[in-house]
Amino acid sequence: MSNVEIRELIRKNRLFNYEVAEKLHISEYTFCRWLRNELDEAKKQEIIDIVKELTNR
């Protein structure tokens, strides 16, 4: 999954970047910087798991 797909996943689930960033224990600014370059598979999976967790609240 590319970073574009991660952005789409966040948007489709009506989440904000700051919500995902809070779960990662980083700032929203840092999270946005992460998305500028292709993430490794482990980091992508961590973000996908967080999105799933946030949508199941």
Domain ranges of the chain: 3-55
Report whether pLDDT(57) > 80. no
Find where tokens 């009506």 sit: 14
- Indicate the pLDDT class of residue 2, thresholds 50, 70 and 90: confident
The DSSP call for residue 49 is H
Assess whether pLDDT exceeds 90 at residue 1: no
24 and 50 Cβ atoms separated by less than 8 Å: yes
The average pLDDT across 1-9 equals: 90
**Tens-digit pLDDT profile for residues 16-40:** 999 999 999 999 999 999 999 999 9
